[in-house]
Amino acid sequence: MELKDIKAVYFIGIGGIGMSAIARYFLHNGAIVGGYDRTPSELTKKLQTEGALIHYEENISLIPEPCKKAESCLVIYTPAIPSNHQELLFFQENGFCIQKRAQVLGTLTRSLHGLCVAGTHGKTTTSSMAAHLLHQSHVDCNAFLGGITKNYGTNYILSPDSPYVVIEADEFDRSFHWLSPYATVITSADADHLDIYGTEEAYLESFRKYTSLIRPDGFLFLHTGVKIKADTQNGVTTYTYGREEGDFHAENIQIGNGEIVFDFVSPLGNIPNVQLGVPLSINIENGIAAMALAQIAGVYSEEIRQGMATFKGVDRRFDFHVKTDRIAYLSDYAHHPEEIRQSILSIKELYKNKHIKAIFQPHLYSRTRDFYQEFADALSLLDDVVILDIYPARELPIPGVSSELIYNNLKPGIQRQMCHKEDIPALVENSSFDVLVTLGAGDIEDYATCIQEIVKNKV
């Protein structure tokens, strides 16, 4: 089905962060948008105010009538939806055009210049930075992001006149194999999603395959620490980047007084005195990658400097809820051992000699099974750790796998505690700390407002 033939779009799992961005694209383009999700959320409520027809019961009769016409309705579903979902079966049995979210994004990368960001971690922040750099410049862009940007309060940017689209390229379920990037960053390739890939070798092979999809006139920006072997087509220009090494890197890094400033070194033109709007050390590397994409797209140096200074960050990525001289509380979406490690190191660098307490909610039974020792090692960088029950997301329990696997492998001498999520408010109320961070990609964020109020009262 061609995009021009689509009159209605139905989303199964419309409340997902990536799905909702595409829903907004079709709403902006005048299509009737309907959708199902299991539970209401702030995101689905906002979509409803924007015109989406959403219900929360798996029920074919609740599908809007315009979305029941196979000749003009595109159905988009998330891989998290089970194969026996009643509504998905209805569309399959009645000849609808059914696509995964990634297939739709792939179509957009073939009609626009796709600036894509792939990697085990850093995708959302880097792609959001790149989108902001382009959008606030004379170049502008469309963007489909994996988080709500604080600059725009959305995960989607529409610019009908720009030839560029910024996309977060997700390796889960090999989704990024649908894309045809003009330029792509690969931030990292630490093994993950082994429930899908089976082995680290298969995971790395998936990234190698992804590099072969870059257009022949395109660009690859590869982090110096990434282990994959690229397999690009003839004509693709490959660059490396890193914090202090690679074709693109930083020099004269200055960290202090709540600020980070550095000089951006680039084969396309150096930019001195770049200031990070979100001053965390991990954002030096994220910023270097985003600035490289912006330079390829033709953003001017002064526009890049201005954009970096005005970037406000992404919800749930180093998201400060309380920040005073006395106490701080932030939440972070980190849910992979390397993300946890980088998050903790960045916080420790920002708050030297402070009592930092972390509450971690493991995400997925399979990820906990595969990486419990790595999680324990990363969390052991702190002196005070609370472990919650596993958030299952799309999975059923695995015998013998629980968050105690992480808890029992924390290094000796660490203050540790197991906790059920409903007991978080009481735990925070009765704890002492200088900095509190909640970590995880599950529903721990539902407690952020409550925690914020408790921490405020400790000031």
Domain ranges of the chain: 3-99, 112-310, 319-456
Q: Tell me yes or no: is domain 3-99 CATH 3.90.230.10.
A: no
Look at 306 and 282; give whichever has higher pLDDT. 306
Give the pLDDT of residue 1: 66
What three-state secondary structure class fits 329? Answer: strand
What average pLDDT does the segment 223-252 reach?
A: 96
The tokens for 412 are: 């000796």
Is the torsion defined by CA of 182, 185, 186, 192 positive or negative? Answer: negative
What's the pLDDT at 18?
Answer: 82
Token pair belonging to 233: 């087509």
Share of the chain above pLDDT 70, in %: 100
Strand-strand pairing, 73-77 and 97-100: parallel
Among the four given CATH numbers 3.30.70.260, 3.40.50.300, 3.40.1190.10, 3.90.1310.10, the one describing domain 112-310:
3.40.1190.10
Give the helix ranges, DSSP H, for 152-296.
194-197, 200-211, 282-296
pTM score of the predicted model: 0.80
Least confident span in 40-44, 234-238, 285-289 = 40-44
Residue 4: its pLDDT value, please? 74
Question: Does residue 194 carry a pLDDT above 80?
Answer: no
Tell me what pLDDT residue 106 has.
92
Residue 368 CB neighbours (<10 A): 21
pLDDT band at residue 146 using 50, 70 and 90 as cut-offs: confident
Domain 319-456 architecture: Alpha-Beta Complex (3.90)
Mean pLDDT of 298-322: 94
Phi and psi torsions of 258, nearest 5°: 75, 15
Q: To the nearest whole percent, how much of the chain has pLDDT over 90?
A: 76
Kindly give, in sequence order, each residue whose CB lies less than 8 Å from that of residue 159, ignoring residues fewer than 6 positions away.
Answer: 135, 140, 141, 142
Residue type, 382: L
Query: HSE (CB half, 13 Å, CA atoms) of 424?
Result: 29
Q: What is the DSSP string of 22-74?
A: HHHHHHHTT-EEEEE-SS--HHHHHHHHTT-EEE-S--GGGS-GGGG-TTTEE
Dihedral of alpha carbons 378, 382, 383, 387, sign: negative
Round the average pLDDT of the chain to a whole number and report it. Answer: 93
Count other C-beta atoms under 10 Å from residue 394's C-beta: 12
pLDDT over 80 (residue 453): yes
Query: CB burial class (10 A; 0-12, 13-18, 19+) of residue 174?
Result: middle
